[in-house]
Amino acid sequence: MNLILTIAWRNILRHKGKSLVIGIILFTGAFLMTLGNGVISGMAAGIGKNIIDGFMGDIVLVSDKQKSDNILLEMMGANIEPITSYKVIKPVLAAQPYIQRFLPAGKNLAMLLDENTATPGFAYLIGVDFAEYRKMFPDNLKVIEGGYPAPGDRAMLFPDSQRPEYYNFYNIWFLPEGGKVVKDNLSKEALADIASLPVSSSVVMLGMTSGINSTSDIRFPIKGIMRYGALNKIFGHFCLVDIESYRDCLGYITAADMAAQVPKEEKELLGMEGADLDSLFGGDLMAADHKKASVNTSAPAAVLPRTEDGAYNLVFIKLKPGTGYDKALAGLNRALSDAKGGVRAVPWNKASGAIGSMALIIKSALFIFVMLLFCVAVIIIVNTLTMSALERASELGMMRAVGAQKPFIAGMFLGETAILSAVFGGFGILSGITAVKIIPLLRITTANDMLQLLYGGDFFNPFLSLSDIALTVLQLAAVTIIAALYPMRVAARITPLDAISRD
């Protein structure tokens, strides 16, 4: 082995030109493969941060009646079935040790009613308890005008990315209550009309969910204008509203409805016929002690509504770090089925529909790009080594004539490729790791949502783990072995007679 490597090293020095060409190819391939793997990992981590941690969690619960798993941007705004069993679901979720936090929410399409024209518009509503929402997703959005609604407020946070569209459509610029026009936040069209800019601090919407008895047109006061931290043009289609106003708008059972339900005893009383009423209030009952009767003359205490008592459409779930995803999903579905909660657990990439698919497509495209680099490097190295073997036919033939066997000749070529791969490829991997470390420091940002998917967020942040580096080393080793196979065969088939005939 030492003899083979010694001869291989001498041959590299003797054929510096071809060795340098192969080395540059190996360096470039290793560098780009390292960078590509870093981009793929950075994108996956960024999607996890911006979609999972910032918008919908790892898992989403939907009703068993829900036909499609895509609940984020479903085609034609198809309705999402309501969930009315949250009291059953909540203890099941609280009992799972792998669940970090969960949040029930409403989500459906609503029709925006213009008070000046008859032309309707559309917007997605997400109904939440604002305080719980901020605990679940603390860093996913920023209020750029106005403020957050106070607890119990009937209110809306309106996305700033939608204001230009609604202004072009309705000629109304939405502002938060008590807010003033901020020139820096105006669109070009609104800025041109600033002298007579029509403004409004409320939105009237009508729910569009099918399969329920009624919907209502609800006026939502705008408390703040918000901007999502990343993927703002995608997530900016969603208006955040308080859950009770959302339920009113969609015609769902509200928490106030549940609190105001007539007690069982009163229902029985209201359902009695005349004879039953006479028997109830006659005889000994009418002669009851006045003091005893007077104890119950005070009005019953008011029952305060709890937001979790009404209907929802979804439950967003975050898993604890390090949780096995597939195992958690399967275990949660079993627990929910045993509890007869009427819901099923859906992974985030299916629940996010086109966004999850788009992310998978981009990751696949990046992986294919890395594999193409792999193939190109193999082809160029094969061609260079094969030409080198043919040019050295006389030398190789003489080596065969003095007793060198085919495995020795083949090993010599593999040794040359391995040495070049270790030196130039290793340097390429180190350069790629350095580039991955430097790029995030440059804070390369973009407002383009497609690029943000590629970046994994609002700035380019590739990331390399030890497994990514190991994968790059394996890819480089595969390039080395595959590229050397055919030249090794060509070199091993050269005979002493070939050397004589070429001379």
Residues 115 and 204: their CA atoms lie apart, in Å, by 8
Q: Are 92 and 207 part of one and the same domain?
A: yes
270-279 contacts at long range (C-beta below 8 A, 24 or more positions apart):
none
Q: Encoding tokens for residue 188?
A: 């070009």
- Closest Cα partner for 148 from 220, 76, 218, 241? 241
Model confidence at 36, pLDDT cuts 50, 70, 90, reads confident
- 281 within a domain of the structure (yes/no): no
What are the φ and ψ backbone dihedral angles of 113, each rounded to 5 degrees?
-100, 120
Residues 317 and 100: their CA atoms lie apart, in Å, by 8
Residues 215 and 228: their CA atoms lie apart, in Å, by 29
User: What pLDDT sits at residue 305?
Assistant: 55
The amino acid at residue 3 is: L
With a cut of 80, say whether residue 296 has pLDDT above it.
no
With a cut of 80, say whether residue 209 has pLDDT above it.
no
- 286 within a domain of the structure (yes/no): no
- For the residues 145-170, what does the mean pLDDT come to? 90
Residue whose pair of structure tokens reads 């793929």 in the numeric block: 40
Q: Are 25 and 77 part of one and the same domain?
A: no
Q: Are 79 and 108 part of one and the same domain?
A: yes
Average pLDDT, the chain: 80
What are the CA-CA distances from residue 103 to residues 137, 170, 475 (Å)?
10, 34, 43
C-alpha 174, offset from chain centre: 29
With a cut of 80, say whether residue 317 has pLDDT above it.
yes
Q: Provide the strand spans (E) within 295-406.
A: 314-319, 343-347
With a cut of 60, say whether residue 399 has pLDDT above it.
yes
- Closest Cα partner for 27 from 434, 427, 483? 427
Q: Are 93 and 131 part of one and the same domain?
A: yes
Which residues touch 370 (CB under 8 Å, ≥6 apart)?
A: 32, 33, 36, 37, 40, 475
With a cut of 70, say whether residue 228 has pLDDT above it.
yes
- Provide the 3-class DSSP secondary structure of residue 243: helix
| Region of poorest pLDDT, from 276-290, 383-397, 398-412 | 276-290
Residue whose pair of structure tokens reads 């939440």 in the numeric block: 128
Residues 478 and 394: their CA atoms lie apart, in Å, by 30
With a cut of 70, say whether residue 359 has pLDDT above it.
no
User: What pLDDT sits at residue 307?
Assistant: 67
Model confidence at 290, pLDDT cuts 50, 70, 90, reads very low
User: What pLDDT sits at residue 339?
Assistant: 93
- For the residues 175-184, what does the mean pLDDT come to? 92
With a cut of 70, say whether residue 275 has pLDDT above it.
no
With a cut of 70, say whether residue 276 has pLDDT above it.
no
User: What pLDDT sits at residue 329?
Assistant: 93
Q: Are 237 and 364 part of one and the same domain?
A: no
| Region of poorest pLDDT, from 84-93, 109-118, 180-189, 255-264 | 255-264
Residues 127 and 133: their CA atoms lie apart, in Å, by 10
The domain total for the chain is 2
Residues 99 and 83: their CA atoms lie apart, in Å, by 20
Residue whose pair of structure tokens reads 């030196």 in the numeric block: 423
First to last CA, the chain: 30
- For the residues 408-417, what does the mean pLDDT come to? 80
Phi-psi region of 345 (alpha: psi -120 to 50; beta: other; left: phi over 0): beta
Looking at per-residue pLDDT, the higher value among 288 and 101 belongs to: 101
- 267 within a domain of the structure (yes/no): no
Q: How many CB atoms lie within 10 A of CB 317?
A: 25
pLDDT digit string, tens, across residues 428-461:
999 999 999 999 888 888 777 667 777 767 788 8
Residues 435 and 416: their CA atoms lie apart, in Å, by 28
User: What pLDDT sits at residue 253?
Assistant: 81
Q: Read off the DSSP letter of residue 493.
A: T
Residues 201 and 218: their CA atoms lie apart, in Å, by 14
Given CA atoms 355, 357, 358, 364 in this order, what sign does their dihedral have?
A: positive
User: What pLDDT sits at residue 146?
Assistant: 94
Q: Are 126 and 17 part of one and the same domain?
A: no
- 301 within a domain of the structure (yes/no): no
Q: Are 170 and 234 part of one and the same domain?
A: yes
Q: Under a CB-based contact definition with an 8 Å cutoff, are residues 43 and 455 in contact?
A: yes
User: What pLDDT sits at residue 401?
Assistant: 78
- For the residues 470-476, what does the mean pLDDT come to? 87
Q: Are 213 and 131 part of one and the same domain?
A: yes
Q: Are 372 and 337 part of one and the same domain?
A: no
Q: Are strands 141-146 and 217-228 parallel, antiparallel or unpaired?
A: antiparallel
Model confidence at 265, pLDDT cuts 50, 70, 90, reads very low
- For the residues 313-318, what does the mean pLDDT come to? 95
- For the residues 399-404, what does the mean pLDDT come to? 76
pLDDT digit string, tens, across residues 56-94:
899 999 999 998 888 876 655 578 899 989 999 999 999
With a cut of 60, say whether residue 176 has pLDDT above it.
yes
- Closest Cα partner for 246 from 162, 310, 150, 151? 310
Give me the DSSP letters along 124-182.
EEEEE-HHHHHHHSTTSEEEEEE-PPPTT---EEEEGGGHHHHHHHHS-EE--TT----
- 299 within a domain of the structure (yes/no): no
Residue whose pair of structure tokens reads 């439950």 in the numeric block: 315
Residues 426 and 403: their CA atoms lie apart, in Å, by 34
pLDDT digit string, tens, across residues 89-114:
999 999 999 999 999 999 998 888 87
- 352 within a domain of the structure (yes/no): no
| 359-373, 465-479, 484-498 — most confident range | 465-479
- 353 within a domain of the structure (yes/no): no
Q: Are 7 and 103 part of one and the same domain?
A: no
- Provide the 3-class DSSP secondary structure of residue 392: coil
Phi-psi region of 456 (alpha: psi -120 to 50; beta: other; left: phi over 0): left
User: What pLDDT sits at residue 259?
Assistant: 65
Q: Are 76 and 225 part of one and the same domain?
A: yes
With a cut of 60, say whether residue 212 has pLDDT above it.
no
Segments forming the whole domain that contains residue 337: 65-258+307-341
| Alpha-carbon torsion, ordered 205, 208, 211, 217, to 10 deg | 20
Give me the DSSP letters along 69-125.
S--SS-GGGPPPPPB--HHHHHHHHHH-TTEEEEEEEEEEEEEEPPSSSS--EEEEE
- 24 within a domain of the structure (yes/no): yes
With a cut of 70, say whether residue 117 has pLDDT above it.
no
Q: Are 101 and 206 part of one and the same domain?
A: yes
